[in-house]
Amino acid sequence: MKELWKIFYKGLFDENPIFILALSLCPALAVTTNVINALTMGLTVLFVISTNNVVVSLTRHLVNPKVRVPVYITSIATIVTVVQLVLQAYFPVLYKALGIYLALVVVFAIILARAEVFASKNKLIPSFFDGFGMGVGFTIAMLVIAVIRELLGNGTIMGYSVFGAAYNPALIMVLPPGAFILIGYMIGAIRLYNQRKEEKRLKGSES
């Protein structure tokens, strides 16, 4: 049980796909203009990555290693198509808002990477937890970025006004440049935090 928790937990912070590994940034920047889109995207990736890890793990003895990458890609593309059709049928507005980025979940480096690095070598249950943890980590990162962008750029969270009508929104945050600049500073902040932690650890070991 503790092992599984560890596998799940590492995706949240230590190996967070967006902030630490800097993988799959395209969607992180493109759909985080508001919280609802970011949440949908996060949940889509969460579903695709866990399902794909399960599929890859179940078929790991059947697939010839030489053709593994095409097999993984086909499996991912199939799952993404299922999600696309479901969203198109039940949530047409969200489907429209996510647009091309939903189809592009197929080529997210993080999904292929987890299949290759973890699911192809591990049993069913750990593989599921690995995918689930990475997916949750991805969703959290998306939400953090989206909350900051929507709050500053529009003065709202999930459509509810926070600062009141007097707030003059910084429009740049919901435009493309704002996304780039915000991510740049966030990467810097995380590095600074890790550096400080490292320095403290070194000082602690000296004394």
Residue 7 or 141 with smaller CB distance to another protein:
141
Cβ of residue 182: shortest distance to another protein, in angstroms?
A: 8
DSSP 20-37: TT--SHHHHHHSTTSHHH
- Picking from 153, 184, 177, the residue whose alpha carbon sits closest to that of residue 19 is 184
Contact criterion met (CB below 8 Å) for 75 and 198: no
Residue 9 or 84 with smaller CB distance to another protein:
84
What would the x/- binding string for another protein be over residues 93 to 112, using CB under 8 A? Answer: -------x--xx-xx-x--x
Contact criterion met (CB below 8 Å) for 52 and 72: yes
User: Of 195, 198, 199, 201, which one interacts with another protein (CB under 8 A)?
Assistant: 195
Report the C-alpha gap between 87 and 34 in whole angstroms. Answer: 18
Residue 123 or 196 with smaller CB distance to another protein:
196
Q: Which of residues 62-91 bind another protein (CB under 8 A)?
A: 70, 73-74, 77-78, 80-81, 84-85
Report the C-alpha gap between 146 and 31 in whole angstroms. Answer: 8
Residue 162 or 181 with smaller CB distance to another protein:
181
20 touches another protein by CB under 8 A: no
